[in-house]
Chain A
């Protein structure tokens, strides 16, 4: 693990660990809901990439904004969302963050600055840049982080908005989660040249960081967020990480595009939670019993939230034409 301030930041470290475990636990439960046919539709697991979302979001304030992706549960949890409203949304229930209208791929949590996941790959890059535009126009001091995958670097929108963000010095950080795969295809087959060089071509300072090291991610994120607030943005970060599951929960047989050995290697040797846990113990920040107790509490929380969501009610059918427009209660009335 990278050098850090150690014991003076005990609470921060424990919160980071807790948030990573919350994401993994959320995803394990979501996967089970899919496998047991209790969840409508599909979902995309964030497991393996926890240090990226947590390392970055721990550097942000509540009013700072993020935009998320189809693989968005991790960002949502890391930015402060609650299990209950998230599971309700995954199950299409009225108490979900979006009253069941968005589902897994569109969870938004405005109260914590999460402008929403997006089911169009690269679709939120304009939104993130626009959020940064508002920060500059209205002088709010907020920073926006745009999460996207390596696959999204093939979309043209990214280059249009990075160009404008650089021209106008907008407080936005483009966070490219390079998990090695663009859906079912290796990144090297879809991305020519260097990913960070794409940003550098616009004069945007770009960094590459080990996305399995939450402290490294957090240390870099804190620096870049501070500099964004001072008007030194935009920035670009490529976070090297790995997706434990398939492209989505139904992508089970994937040996045609990657080997089981490769997956095992990442899980056994580079898992962000295992690595951070052993660091916490070796630094004397927490002992094994405390960590196990934390894990167990999170597991219980998730189980209770799942149970609640399974029993929660669906929105009334009268809601189907609500929220089409802000000023019309029922659009089809």
Chain B
């Protein structure tokens, strides 16, 4: 199987879906000739033209609102939000309008819209271009949230998102755009709500999202060299969440660490840990541990930024202590 970058995978998914369905269009800042700052969309405007790869002014609430209305009337927009941090700008259109329209209309109106944006720190971009804000969106009923962990997931989840009749938010890790992974030539889709067991193990479960899946895999390798057998699970989508697969693994290994790049407090790690506590408590040998990003604005200095996010070494260390039966208290 060929290896392609996450960027190329997203680009292929969009091109394939735009060829399949003429109602699909892309809208956002510098999506056409520029192909976005990350060059994810390069070449699409040449094939599909400026009527379907639509450059907008710098007006996030405006183009998000236009996408909601377009989706309600028969188009299938893919909104490009240049940085996940800008999600605060579009909150009314995303959370008050897109998320609630189907419900408030008693099921009569649909909003088949994809919002593609990104997350991830350590790019030396400081606090307004480095946040991982997927928990904000996952909190709102009516929105689906996908977190691809490699080029393979990025393509399969994007194609599923475009065909979904609900608003879907996809967060790509901006540090992974150039990471390659095996991606089939032939078409495939990845269903929402189905977790992927990346590595099978019996001593502890590491649940990771987005790039934290790689962090967990690396931690599992470190642990394996010490004789600790870790299972790694990628939920792929957090809304819907494959609770069944996570509980099954928790019951099997009896120890769980949840790793996610959003802020640790009130976030994804806490939500998943809580569900495991509620539904697998008597199978556990240790408290479910949360490992999120530090509860600080992302700092600029590399010396500070790098310590705010979970690392393979940090996850391995926590796993080691959990397996050894040490009680761990959050710092």
- Which residues of A does B touch, CB under 8 Å? 65, 67, 96-102, 106, 108, 110, 115-116, 118, 120, 123-138, 140, 142, 144, 156-157, 160-161, 163-164, 167, 322-328, 331
A110 and B109 contact, CB distance less than 8 A: yes
- List residues of chain B with CB within 8 A of the CB of A130: 65-73, 75, 77
Chain A contacts for B92, CB-based, 8 A: 120, 123, 157
Closest CB in chain A relative to B62 CB, distance in Å: 3
* Residue B225 at the chain A interface, CB threshold 8 Å: no
Least distance between A78 CB and chain B CB atoms (Å): 19
Q: Which residues of B contact A327 (CB under 8 A)?
A: 164-166
Instruction: Decide: A323 near B106, CB < 8 A? Known: A123-B97, A160-B59, A164-B62.
Output: yes
Binds A, one of B49-57, B127-135, B227-235: B49-57
| Centre residue among A98, A137, A167 by max chain B CB count within 10 A | A137
**B19 on the interface (CB 8 Å rule)?**
no
B96 touches A (CB below 8 Å): yes
Contact A134 B75 (CB under 8 A): yes
A133-B75, A134-B69 as given contacts; A160 in contact with B108, CB under 8 Å: no
Q: Which residue of A lies closest to B65 (CB)?
A: A126
CA distance A318 to B318 in the complex (A): 43
With A130-B73, A137-B70, A157-B65 already in contact, the answer to whether A110 and B59 are too (CB < 8 A) is no
Q: How far is the CB of A154 from chain B (nearest CB, A)?
A: 14
- Residues in B with CB closer than 8 Å to A131 are 69-70, 72-73
**Which residue of the partner chain, among A65, A98, A133, A137, contacts B105 with CB atoms under 8 Å?**
A98
Instruction: Judge whether B8 is part of the interface by a CB distance below 8 angstroms.
Output: no
Asked whether any CB of chain A lies closer than 8 Å to the CB of B23, the reply is yes
| Besides the known contacts A131-B70, A131-B73, A327-B165, 8 further A-B residue pairs in the complex with CB atoms under 8 A apart | A110-B108, A126-B69, A128-B69, A160-B63, A160-B65, A164-B62, A325-B102, A326-B165
* Contact pattern, B 130-143, Cβ under 8 Å of A = 1, otherwise 0: 00000000000110
Q: Which residue of B lies closest to A117 (CB)?
A: B104
Chain B interface category by residue count? 35 or more
Question: When chains A and B are docked, how far (Å) is the Cα of A77 from the Cα of B327?
Answer: 65
Question: Does the CB pair A324–B142 fall under 8 Å?
Answer: yes
B144 at the interface (CB under 8 A from A): yes
Q: Which residues of A contact B52 (CB under 8 A)?
A: 137
- By beta carbon, the residue of chain A nearest B93 is A126
A136-B50 Cα distance, complex, nearest whole Å: 13
A98 & B108 in contact (Cβ 8 Å cutoff): yes
- Whether A326 contacts B110 in the complex (CB less than 8 A), given A116-B105, A130-B71, A134-B74, comes out as yes
A137-B25, A164-B59 known; A324 vs B72 contact (CB < 8 Å) = no
**Bound complex: CA of A222 vs CA of B107, how far in Å?**
32
Measured between beta carbons, the chain B residues less than 8 angstroms from A157 are: 61-62, 65, 92-93
Inside 8 A of B149's CB, which chain A residues have their CB? none
Q: B23 contacts which chain A residues (CB < 8 A)?
A: 137-138
- B62 contacts A163, C-beta separation under 8 Å: yes
Q: Does B5 contact A (CB under 8 A)?
A: no
- Residues on the A chain within 8 Å of B69, using CB: 67, 115, 124, 126-134, 144
> Chain B residues near A138 (CB, 8 Å)?
22-23, 74-75
CA distance A132 to B142 in the complex (A): 24
Taken together as a complex, chains A and B put the C-alpha atoms of A140 and B102 apart, in Å, by 23
A100's partner among B51, B62, B106, B240 (CB-CB below 8 A) is B106
Shortest Cβ gap from A92 to chain B (Å) = 11
Q: Are B73 and A65 in contact (CB under 8 A)?
A: yes
Question: Provided the pairs A65-B73, A137-B70 are in contact, do residues A125 and B65 lie with their beta carbons within 8 angstroms?
Answer: yes
Contacts of A325 in B (CB 8 A): 102, 142, 144, 166
Contact B104 A98 (CB under 8 A): yes
Q: Which of B52, B57, B107 has the most CB of A within 10 A?
A: B107
Q: In this assembly, does B101 line the interface, its C-beta being within 8 Å of a C-beta of chain A?
A: yes
Contact indicator B73/A108 (Cβ below 8 Å): no
A127–B106 contact, CB under 8 A? no
> Within 8 Å CB of B102, what residues of A?
323-326
Q: How far is the CA of A2 from the CA of B48 in the complex (A)?
A: 48
Bound: A125/B23 CA distance, A: 22
Tell whether A102 pairs with B65 under 8 Å between CB atoms, given A127-B72, A130-B70.
no
Closest to A167 in B: B57
17 sampled A-B residue pairs with Cβ under 8 A: A67-B69, A98-B104, A99-B107, A101-B106, A110-B109, A126-B64, A129-B62, A129-B65, A129-B66, A130-B66, A133-B69, A134-B74, A135-B73, A137-B52, A161-B62, A167-B57, A326-B102
Quote the shortest CB–CB distance from A147 to chain B (angstroms). Answer: 14
Question: Which residue of A98, A120, A326 contacts B166 across the interface (Cβ within 8 Å)?
Answer: A326
Question: Which of B73, B104, B105: most chain A CB closer than 10 A?
Answer: B73
CB distance from A221 to the nearest CB of B (A): 20
Kindly state the separation between the CA atoms of A43 and B108 in the bound complex, as whole angstroms. 22
List the A residue with the shortest CB-CB distance to B59. A160
B103 at the interface (CB under 8 A from A): yes
Expressed in whole angstroms, the minimum distance between the Cβ of A66 and any Cβ of chain B is 11
Interfacial chain A residues near B71, Cβ < 8 Å: 130
- The answer to whether A163 touches B59, judged by C-beta atoms less than 8 angstroms apart, is yes
Q: Which residues of B contact A106 (CB under 8 A)?
A: 104-105
